Amino acid sequence: ISVNTTDQKQGLGCLETFGKGPVEFAKTFSETFSIENATTLEFWYYVSDVTKLDANGQVELTSSGGPDDKEYAWTLTNLVNGWNNIVLKFSEAGITGGTPDLSKINFFRFYRYKNDDVTSRIDGLKFGGLSALADAGPDQTITDDNDDGIEPVTLDGSGSIGPNGLIASYSWKEN
């Protein structure tokens, strides 16, 4: 696996593999993470030549630390040469080895058998359907000590969670 910084879909780079090997991308996470409210797994997937792909292969997400146990699995179809926008619904996933614990996800694998060398890339991996949560910190009552109409207030939005776990910006207004 290498980082490609010249043909990515988002950000500064994407992960790239080249060859015939079946495992394209795999990661065991040392700490679990929660995707309890997610409805989709989304990412960009690049294939240099789809005619060299075997029909077998899948995307896997587990809470067991490895494949084939407490696993969600999806098979990708209708791929084209170049970038493919992939949206996989949890409601349409196959389940292997028992239902995964969405509060303890710790393994991701994407594999596909090939009949010749293929370049593949993955970019913009995210979980969709997550609700945003705005948290500006605890409620505060401010007293204007000198009656000038100005008092400093500190707001902390670090407890906020945006869709897909990202916060694009903070904006405050006075009520």
What 3 state SS string does the chain have?
Answer: CEEECCCCCCCCCEEEEEECCCEEEEEEEEEEECCCCCCEEEEEEEECCHHHEEEEEEEEEECCCCCCCCEEEECCCCCCCEEEEEEEEHHHCEEECCCCCCCCEEEEEEEEEECCCEEEEEEEEEEECCCCECCCCCCCCCCCCCCCCCCCCCCCCCCCECHHHCCCCCCCCCC
Mean pLDDT value of segment 4-18: 91
Which tens digits make up the pLDDT trace of 51-98? Answer: 999 877 799 999 999 999 999 999 988 899 999 999 999 999 999 999
Amino acid 143: pLDDT: 84
Q: pLDDT tens, 124-152?
A: 988 887 555 566 777 777 888 888 888 88
Q: Express each pLDDT in 94-127 by its tens digit.
A: 999 999 998 899 999 998 889 999 999 999 988 8
Across all residues in the chain, what is the average pLDDT?
85
Instruction: Specify burial of residue 59 (Cβ count, 10 A radius: 0-12, 13-18, 19+).
Output: buried
What is the pLDDT, as a whole number, of residue 165?
A: 53
> How confident is residue 156, by pLDDT bands cut at 50, 70 and 90?
confident
